[in-house]
Amino acid sequence: MCSTLEIRRAPTGTLGTVGDFSGGADVFLADCPARLAVEIIADKWAVVVVFALSRGPRRHGDLIGLIGGISKKMLTQTLRRLERHGLVERQAYAEVPPRVEYRLTELGETLVEPIAVLTKWAETCGEAVVDAQERFDAGTAQPPR
């Protein structure tokens, strides 16, 4: 259960929590590289597409069938954004009919483990988040004990 997770606080006078944030990046600065990571991961469909491609190269139609709820237009836009970020590679084959496959680049593969960690967090804490949302929506928002 999420409520049993221990969050160690940073020493007094510092910001954040103790963890893997020791790289020296100041996430409060507008040009901090960490903000790019958040921008990519915060994209609802990007994370799902990266995870789908972690299983190997896929065609556009295969991804549509695999990813529930995504439209063709949104998938195309997401793939283009991921390609621009250097996370996905588009391979067009000179065949009739034409065939296009998408695969993760080496850089894209580096996101698979962090996404797996976020997925594990969602599995562990998802129920607590839904409970908090329901309490908030009911006007009885109180922190869990």
pTM: 0.72
Highest mean pLDDT among 7-11, 16-20, 37-41, 57-61: 57-61
The CATH code of domain 24-137 reads: 1.10.10.10
pLDDT at 73: 97
- SS3 sequence of the chain: CHHHCCCCECCCCCCCECCCCCCCCCCCCCCCHHHHHHHHHHCHHHHHHHHHHCCCCEEHHHHHHHCCCCCHHHHHHHHHHHHHCCCEEEEEECCCCCEEEEEECHHHHCCHHHHHHHHHHHHHHHHHHHHHHHHHHCCCCCCCC
pLDDT digit string, tens, across residues 77-96: 999 999 999 999 999 999 99
